Structure 1
Amino acid sequence: MMGVKTAGFELDRRLEADTRHVMWLGLCELRLMDDRRWPWLVLVPQRPGAAEVHDMTPLDQALLAFETNMVAETLKNVTGCTKINTGALGNIVRQLHVHVIARFEGDANWPGPVWGHGEREPYRREDAHQFADRIASALSPQR
């Protein structure tokens, strides 16, 4: 799937700093959280000013739900995880974004939340690229 950056949309600088681009979906840019403790993807709808799901049109809301489910299923298939955690908190970064996190029994802070637990462990550049490529390939089998 190929996306085009929406006019007037700018990615929040904290999301830019903490994540890496994976691919463009129909509505969202898919990004990888730069923390190797958890396979963690972030969908960012390309809608200027959207802070909440209800800030978007009903069609965009449906597309966000579709893309979130597609990414969650792909992440579960690629990682073989025990559970997928999905959330759109936005308490610190107000720009609408959806976290999709693969969780495993015994992972860092299982079964508690990933937020605020320990120090971030960035990926090695090669590992981040390899994981992002696996996700992109699984989402785009025609590639």
Structure 2
Amino acid sequence: MSNFQLHQQLAQDCFKVGSFSLSELLMMNDSQYPWFILVPRRANVKEIYQLSAQDRQTLQNESCLLAETLADLYRPDKLNIAAIGNLVPQLHLHHVVRYQTDIAWPAPVWGKFAKLPYAGDQPEQRISQLRTALANELHDGF
């Protein structure tokens, strides 16, 4: 765990939200979708199967907790959860809230449109809302 470093691309593209017991929680700087990312704090891990059995279970639990919370907060038409990693090899799970009215629907969001960064205090508002909803499970970021 001490060798963990967040991939530079994730650090550049995201805001830090907080930490679960295993994973860092990030928010993608793209205001077109509520888009959050879990990154397990394990060095040199690219795939879920490379985690220990205990870490795999913890990641699954964190992902489900995040998904349930996002569903409660945003009432999506669909929640896309994916571990793609073609451009960023560090294991990370995307959780993207989708609506039939969003710009990319029904296609995947990956590389479909240029990101539209948040403006003003929008990111702080969204992050604060999620931190409040996850207050019992989330602690300050890394």
With the length of structure 1 as denominator, give the TM-score of the two structures: 0.93
Amino acid at match of 1:109: A
Runs of 4+ in 1 over 4 A off after TM superposition: none
CA pair 142-50 structure 1, distance change in 2 beyond 3 A: closer
Instruction: Show structure 1 runs of 5+ residues with no match.
Output: 1-5
Instruction: Show structure 2 runs of 5+ residues with no match.
Output: none
Cα RMSD for the two superposed structures: 1.4
Asked if structure 1 preserves the Cα contact closer than 8 Å seen for 2:37 and 2:93, the reply is: yes
In structure 1, the partner of 2:53 is 58
- For residue 127 of structure 2, give the secondary structure of its aligned residue in structure 1: helix
In structure 1, the partner of 2:104 is 109
Name the CA distance, whole Å, in 2 between partners of 1:76 and 1:37. Answer: 17
How many equivalent pairs are there?
138
With the length of structure 2 as denominator, give the TM-score of the two structures: 0.93
Name the CA distance, whole Å, in 2 between partners of 1:40 and 1:116. Answer: 14
Name the CA distance, whole Å, in 1 between partners of 2:59 and 2:137. Answer: 22
In structure 1, the partner of 2:124 is 129
* Higher RCO, Cα 8 Å, sep 6+: 2
1:9 aligns with 2:4: yes
- For residue 129 of structure 2, give the secondary structure of its aligned residue in structure 1: helix
| Percent of aligned pairs with the same amino acid | 34
